[in-house]
Amino acid sequence: PPASRSPEINDRLTMETPDSRQARLWERRKLADARIIGQFNNTYIICEGNDALMVVDQHAAHERIAYERLAAARKNNARPPSQKLMIPETFDLGYRETAVISQMTDDLGTLGLEIEHFGGNTFVVKSVPTLIADREIKPLILEIAEAMDAFGYSPGLGAALDQCIILMACHSAIRARQSLSMNEMKALLDQLDQCENPRQCPHGRPTFVEWPLRTLEKNFKRIV
């Protein structure tokens, strides 16, 4: 376990309530039952499943977890947990970005991202979803502006907000090339198992791939 890691990731990964955990615990335990062997390339979690070597993409997995939490909150018309910034963050955007984001302040508010158009090209962020509390906010806003410009945003459009949630999930997720402790890996797999769709990140990339034991035995010519 790296000494330099803050405890934030563990906190984030174990944010789900004990109740929602309990409810799903018996449905699927594919990953939670796997034995973690270790981390590869500081990017992939290697585990021993029932009859396969499993490789989990830590970023894609965490993205899926974060996405389902944000989506669940939106479905319940609940603002996801958010956090007031001690010092509101002020930044300027370009002309096109300003045009998009200035229309989005209400919608972003419902996602826990409280942003105000200060006038001109200047915006002030006052609260952010807890999930991304430790991340830089401006790169996320720029990506949202770009995506919505391409998508054709109009206020209250559900599909547009879903895109925003995906971007938030991506920005909240642990990165590739980040060392994780055994406990962090365990927490990640437990929570991925509890997702509706644990197999894909919200962009449709796989969260894990498997190398069946039989295939491995064939690779080694142990069986034909």
Residues at the site binding its own copies, with contacts judged by CB under 8 A: 37-41, 44, 46, 48, 53, 55, 57, 60, 176, 204-206, 209, 211, 213, 216, 219-222
Q: Which of 58, 10, 12 has its CA nearest to residue 206?
A: 58
CB of residue 174 to its own copies, shortest distance in Å: 15
Instruction: State in angstroms the smallest separation of the CB of 34 from its own copies.
Output: 11
Instruction: Tell the smallest beta-carbon distance from residue 10 to its own copies (Å).
Output: 21
Please identify, using beta-carbon distances, which residue of 88 and 206 lies nearer to its own copies.
206
Nearer Cβ to its own copies (53/124): 53
**Is 41 or 76 the residue whose CB approaches its own copies more closely?**
41
Question: To the nearest whole angstrom, how small is the minimum distance from the Cβ of residue 39 to its own copies?
Answer: 7
**Minimum gap (Å) between residue 105 Cβ and its own copies:** 34
Helix (H, G, I), strand (E, B) or coil at 221: coil
Cβ count near 216 (within 10 Å): 13
CB 111 within 8 A of CB 160: no
Q: Are 179 and 5 in contact (CB under 8 A)?
A: yes
CB-nearer residue toward its own copies: 160 or 189: 189
Place of tokens 């984001």: 101
User: 25 or 176: whose CB is closer to its own copies?
Assistant: 176
State the nearest-atom distance from the C-beta of 224 to its own copies, in Å.
Answer: 11
Alpha-carbon distance 224 to 210, whole Å? 20
Question: Length of the chain in residues, anyone?
Answer: 224
Nearer to its own copies, 38 or 94 (CB): 38
Contact (CB, 8 A) for 57 and 205 = yes
Q: Report the first-to-last Cα separation within the chain, whole angstroms.
A: 40
In terms of DSSP bridges, do strands 114-119 and 122-129 run parallel, antiparallel, or are they unpaired?
A: antiparallel
